[in-house]
Amino acid sequence: MRRWIMHVDMDAFFASVEQLDHPEYKGHPVIVGGLSARGVVATASYEARKFGVHSAMPISRARKLCPHGIYVYPRFDRYKEISNIIHKVMEEFTPIIEPLSLDEAFLDVTGITHKFEGPVALGRAIKNRVFAETGLIISAGLAPNKFLAKLASDLEKPDGLVVIPYGKEQDMLAELPIKRIWGVGPRTEQRLKDGGFALMKDIQVLPDESKLIPYVGNQARRIWELARGIDERPVEVNRQIQSIGNEETYEEDVVDPAVIDVELHYFANRVAKRLRKRNLMGHTVAIKVRYNDFKTVTRQKHLDSATDNERLIYDTSVLLWNKLMNEHKGKTDRNANRIQMRTSANRNESSTSETMGAAPIPTFDTSILAMPLKPLRLLGVTVSGLTADGLVQDDLFTAPIDESSSKLATVLDSLESKFGESAIMNGALWQRSHGLIGDRRKRSELKAAVDASADDNSHQCSELQSTLDTSTSDNSHQCSELQSTLDTSASDNSH
């Protein structure tokens, strides 16, 4: 039986939803994204794209290109609602669905094309059902594999429907530029062009990948196969999350190490909580730094044991930060590279908040944060190499972590879910919230919305916050309720 894969992509999804909910927007350029000076475009309607506006463009640039456009802040709850409806429509046709994002997915429709008058009729049927249920238009591509299906869905947007039939794979690809191959970015594209490979047909004539190796190394086989239309990857129903991270673009460039330190605390806190929410741990911690000249650098460190530990994520982030700064300064910070595992005695002296998690916690010299080389525009922390088994490698030289610390983390997560993230904070997060370290940096509006959407907790934060904003007597009452909850939770965990 021949395999048929379908790729579904909503056309300008966020902007289309806004035009759907606001009929007066139809026919006008709509730009969805952060509305602050350093916001970015999340989606632009096709009317806006005529003026050169596109996703990931700085909002300031978009306003210059399209000053008369309708600029809208994203409503992720609404987009999720529509995305779920579309997903249910897809399930009417096949249970084998691999969501890629809110607005696109792969479907394995092998074996059901015979129920229609071929792949084109099947694609049209799904497009019609989505429109009937949501009033939105999708583009779809059907092909023998995922690479070709995604490529096909992009060929005739908007409202496209393209089928790449068996036996025509190489013909469809031949005249396309090599940058259409997954994983071929600007640098790889230039290396391939230097080798005489500008179009896919230039690669198709090769008998094997050997002539590509000098230019792309171990990626040669994959690129050679994709250029020939070969892709054996299955549609993954339970697609594993690859990484969890938080990053932020700042309204003002950051230069103060004290502010950077608070930000690393904040990112470690958010990432650790998102890991615990999904019952995941990670082996690799990475930082991302973008300077005010838009140069972006990353550094990462592999940990011996997977962790969801806030303190360990923070300490590793500081280690990477100092290492990165000293690399460029031409110096070696021995303290930043020296890792000493805590002894049992030291662990007993440490506060409970420093021992949350499941992995042994190394001590880094984080007393001094290196000065940034240049003002920062963006900073972020990510944990990857995720695992759900929760297994932790034993360490012969350290005492095991008290299980009560991880239970406390669970209690604190529960309290934040009920009362809001401002209910209980460590010192660094409290300073960040109240702007006591340097000038308070306003979080970019779009990233704030993305974080809130990812954590799914924003709707639970009003109960405590509204009380904290009222009178002192009301605050006292709420604090009593919070303390009671904490005592009860701690008592439950002790059992």
pLDDT of 364 reads: 42
User: Is-contact 31 72, C-beta < 8 A?
Assistant: yes
Q: Which residues make beta-bridge pairs with 342?
A: none
And the tokens for 428? 């660094």
Q: Per-residue pLDDT tens for 246-255?
A: 998 888 899 8
pLDDT of 430 reads: 67
Q: What is the rounded distance in angstroms from the CA atom of residue 313 to the CA atom of residue 329?
A: 24
Q: Per-residue pLDDT tens for 208-240?
A: 999 999 999 999 999 999 999 999 999 988 777
* pLDDT bracket for residue 376 (50, 70, 90): very high
CA dihedral 162, 166, 169, 171 (to 10 degrees): -90
Residue given tokens 């409970």 in the structure block: 352
pLDDT of 328 reads: 67
What's the average model confidence in pLDDT over 12-29?
Answer: 96
Nearest to 76 by CA among 442, 459, 444, 452: 452
Q: What is the rounded distance in angstroms from the CA atom of residue 490 to the CA atom of residue 494?
A: 6
* pLDDT bracket for residue 151 (50, 70, 90): very high
Instruction: Indicate the length of the chain as a whole number.
Output: 495
What's the average model confidence in pLDDT over 160-186?
Answer: 93
pLDDT at 349 over 50: no
pLDDT at 300 over 80: yes
pTM here is: 0.66
pLDDT at 315 over 50: yes
pLDDT at 110 over 60: yes
* pLDDT bracket for residue 373 (50, 70, 90): confident
User: For a pLDDT cut of 70, what percent of the chain falls above it?
Assistant: 71
* pLDDT bracket for residue 420 (50, 70, 90): low
Please give the residue that has the higher pLDDT: either 148 or 262: 148
pLDDT at 14 over 50: yes
pLDDT at 96 over 90: yes
Q: What is the rounded distance in angstroms from the CA atom of residue 56 to the CA atom of residue 59?
A: 9
Q: What is the rounded distance in angstroms from the CA atom of residue 495 to the CA atom of residue 486?
A: 14
pLDDT of 268 reads: 92
If residue 377 lies in a helix (H) or strand (E), which one and from where to where?
Answer: strand 376-387
Decide: residue 38, CB within 10 A, 0-12 exposed, 13-18 middle, 19+ buried.
Answer: buried
User: Is-contact 134 19, C-beta < 8 A?
Assistant: no
**What is the overall mean pLDDT for the chain?**
79
Decide: residue 423, CB within 10 A, 0-12 exposed, 13-18 middle, 19+ buried.
Answer: buried
Please give the residue that has the higher pLDDT: either 324 or 418: 324
Positions marked active-site: 104
pLDDT at 172 over 90: yes
Cβ atoms within 10 Å of 425's Cβ, excluding its own? 17
pLDDT of 422 reads: 63
pLDDT at 440 over 50: no
Nearest to 13 by CA among 117, 112, 83: 83
pLDDT at 109 over 70: yes
Q: What is the rounded distance in angstroms from the CA atom of residue 72 to the CA atom of residue 69?
A: 10
DSSP string of 417-465? Answer: HHH-TTSS--HHHHHHHHT-SSSPPPBPHHHHHHHHHHHT-GGGSHHHH
Non-local CB neighbours of 291 within 8 Å, separated by 6+ positions: 372, 373, 374, 375, 376, 377
What's the average model confidence in pLDDT over 111-130?
Answer: 91
pLDDT of 491 reads: 46
pLDDT at 405 over 80: no
Half-sphere exposure of 354 (CA within 13 A, CB side): 13
* pLDDT bracket for residue 396 (50, 70, 90): very low
pLDDT at 467 over 60: no
pLDDT of 329 reads: 65
pLDDT at 464 over 50: no
Q: What is the rounded distance in angstroms from the CA atom of residue 307 to the CA atom of residue 433?
A: 26
Decide: residue 393, CB within 10 A, 0-12 exposed, 13-18 middle, 19+ buried.
Answer: exposed
Please give the residue that has the higher pLDDT: either 257 or 49: 49
pLDDT at 176 over 90: yes
155: three-class secondary structure by DSSP? coil
* pLDDT bracket for residue 106 (50, 70, 90): very high
Residue 46 CA to its chain's centroid (Å): 25
Q: What is the rounded distance in angstroms from the CA atom of residue 441 to the CA atom of residue 437?
A: 10
Region of poorest pLDDT, from 31-40, 263-272, 329-338: 329-338
pLDDT of 258 reads: 87
* pLDDT bracket for residue 154 (50, 70, 90): very high
Q: What is the rounded distance in angstroms from the CA atom of residue 180 to the CA atom of residue 194?
A: 17
